[in-house]
Amino acid sequence: MEEETGQRTELTKVEKDKIFEEEFLPHIDALYNFGSYLIHDDDLAKDLLQETYMRAYRFINYYEKGTNAKAWLIRILKNTFINDYRKTSKQPIRVDLEETYQQVDDSAEGENRNVDLRQEVYNNLVGDEIMNAVNSLPVDYRLIILLCDVEGFKYDEIAKIIDVPIGTVRSRLHRARNMLKEKLSTYAKSKGYKTQE
Partner 1 sequence: MNCTEVEKIMDAYADGEVSDIDCNQVSKHIQDCKHCHEKWENSVKYKSTILSILKKCCGEDVKFNIKEMVLKSEVY
Name the residues that contact partner 1, by CB under 8 A: 13, 16-17, 20-21, 25, 28-29, 32-33, 36-37, 46, 49-50, 53-54, 57-58, 112, 114, 116-119, 122, 125, 127, 130-131, 134, 145-146, 148-150, 154-155, 170, 173-174, 177, 181
- Give min distance, CB of 154 to partner 1, in A: 7
- Give min distance, CB of 96 to partner 1, in A: 25
- Give min distance, CB of 45 to partner 1, in A: 8
- Give min distance, CB of 156 to partner 1, in A: 9
Q: Which long-range contacts (CB under 8 A, 24 or more apart) does 17-26 make?
A: 19/60, 19/63, 19/65, 20/53, 20/56, 20/57, 20/60, 23/63, 23/65, 23/66, 23/69, 24/53, 24/56, 24/57, 24/69, 24/73
Of 92 and 99, which CB lies nearer to partner 1 in the complex structure? 92
Query: CA 143, CA 20: separation in Å to the nearest integer?
Result: 25
Of 22 and 99, which CB lies nearer to partner 1 in the complex structure? 22
With CA atoms as reference, report the closest residue to 72 among 82, 83, 81, 60: 60
Of 160 and 177, which CB lies nearer to partner 1 in the complex structure? 177
Of 96 and 131, which CB lies nearer to partner 1 in the complex structure? 131
Of 30 and 75, which CB lies nearer to partner 1 in the complex structure? 30
Biggest alpha carbon distance in the chain?
62
- Give min distance, CB of 115 to partner 1, in A: 10
